[in-house]
Structure 1
Amino acid sequence: MKFLEFTPLDSINFFLDDLNLGESTIKGSLEAYSCKHTSMDRKLSFSLEHEILGYLSQSADSDPSSPLEYLSSRSSRRTLIYLVLTLGHMYPDYDFSAVQAHLFFREEEWDSFRQIFDTYLFEAAKEWSLLNDGSLLESMAKAIDEVIKLDECEVYSYNPDFEGDPSIEKGAIWSFNFFFYNRKLKRIVSFRCCCLSNLAIDGLPDEEILEEGEDDGLFINMDM
């Protein structure tokens, strides 16, 4: 996987890099990757493939209805491996298991992404509209389309449990990861975004942050 620089993504990334909304701060990033393997990726890809096939071999004897059974398709395994490799580039300090990561990936529709976006980036979208023409979602969709042809993409969400979420930082209120994969172009655009409590950023003890979160109905892992 190779990180790709695309100018259309810059304005979105600049806006969401450290967006202070008063009580909270949004941190978001759009990144593009080529699915062409580096030498390191080839080694890791082989290891992930071996892990998946080993698991399938074991589960076939014990649980024929395993949710991983569809990974007997080489194309499905390749897609999962591309997604896991992308995660590895996004979070280089985290060691991802293909079998475990698969449990947290889900194929989505654009409407699902739009619903998540409208719900959790509502305040950010209002800030964007004060500075730019057009909505934040429309601008993001246009930028992604220029890079990867949105109507040809498969959309995936990655929503791990709290302990397995590499994106969670101290004071996190919510976080999500989406991936737009174009098979023809062999290219992936990732969108990671999280919201941090400014109480945590300002150094408020964790116990008080938790109390604030309970009072305001805040949460860490959202239900996708």
Structure 2
Amino acid sequence: MKFLEYTSLDRINDFLSHLNLGERTMKGCLEAYSCKHTGTDKRLSVSLENELLDCLGRSSDPDSPALAEHLCSRSSRKTLIYLILTLYQMYPDYDFSAVNAHQFFISETRDSFEQIFDSYMSEASKLWVESYGGSSLLEDLYKALDEVVKLSECEIYSYNPDCDADPFLQRGAIWSFNFFFYNRKLKRVVSLCFSCISNLAVDEYLADELGFEEDGEIFDNMDI
């Protein structure tokens, strides 16, 4: 996987890097990648393929026929591998070996994505119009995505990580969403993550940490 630079994505990333709304801070990030494998990707891809096949062989859950059918398709397994490799690129220090296929919701529609975006990013959208005028944040986001991955040809996936193993979940997080726009023809994927952090929770944590450090300094100066 190779990171791709686009000015249109940088503009939105700069805006979403730190939106302080008083008690809350909203953050967002867009990253584009080519799905062409590097040497490391090839080894990891083979490992993931074997794991998925093992999972398929062990799958006997009658309540999950869609998942089993999805894993039976080599094309679907390949897509899932690309998405996991993208996660590794985004968070190189994090281990995604435990990620399961059911954590990716396949074939998200643009309507469902827009509903989530409009509901949770409405304040950010207002600030975008105030800052840049003209088109809405969603419209400019779509223009940027269309430039990189041809939005009309994309499959949209959402990723729902386990709470105990969520690299997106920061201290004080109120909510977070993770989407992937994948173009099979171009072999290119764009990740979109946006979240909301409680400034109050972060401030309390920093205050606790400062208090702990000060207590430590006091005890350091005491004779035992």
Q: TM-score range by the shorter chain?
A: 0.7 to 0.9
CA drift at 1:64: 5.9
- The change in CA–CA distance for 1:198 and 1:150 in structure 2 (over 3 A counts) is same
Aligned-partner SS, 1:203:
helix
The equivalent residue for 1:75 is 75
Counterpart residue type for residue 73 of structure 1: S
TM-score normalized by the length of structure 2 = 0.86
Counterpart CA distance in 2 for 1:145 and 1:52 is 31
Length, aligned pairs only? 204
The equivalent residue for 2:113 is 113
Counterpart CA distance in 2 for 1:65 and 1:97 is 24
The equivalent residue for 2:129 is 129
Aligned-partner SS, 1:169:
coil
Counterpart CA distance in 2 for 1:161 and 1:42 is 26
The equivalent residue for 1:222 is none
The equivalent residue for 1:5 is 5
Give the CA RMSD over aligned residues: 1.8
2:132 maps to 1:149: no
Q: Structure 1 stretches of 5 or more lacking a match?
A: 208-224
TM-score normalized by the length of structure 1 = 0.86
Aligned-partner SS, 1:196:
strand
CA drift at 1:88: 1.1
The equivalent residue for 1:218 is none
Give CA-to-partner distance per residue, 1:38-92, whole Å, 9 cap, x none. Answer: 1000000000001011121222xx4466443121111010000000100111122
Counterpart residue type for residue 95 of structure 1: D
Q: Is the 8 A contact 1:84 1:101 kept in 2?
A: no
Counterpart residue type for residue 203 of structure 1: E
Give CA-to-partner distance per residue, 1:145-197, whole Å, 9 cap, x none. Answer: 01110000000001123212210010000001000000000000000111101
Aligned-partner SS, 1:103:
helix
Q: Larger C-alpha radius of gyration, 1 or 2?
A: 2
The equivalent residue for 1:214 is none
CA drift at 1:8: 1.0
Counterpart CA distance in 1 for 2:130 and 2:93 is 37
Counterpart CA distance in 1 for 2:56 and 2:151 is 32
What percentage of residue pairs aligned between the two structures are identical?
63
Q: Structure 2 stretches of 5 or more lacking a match?
A: 209-224
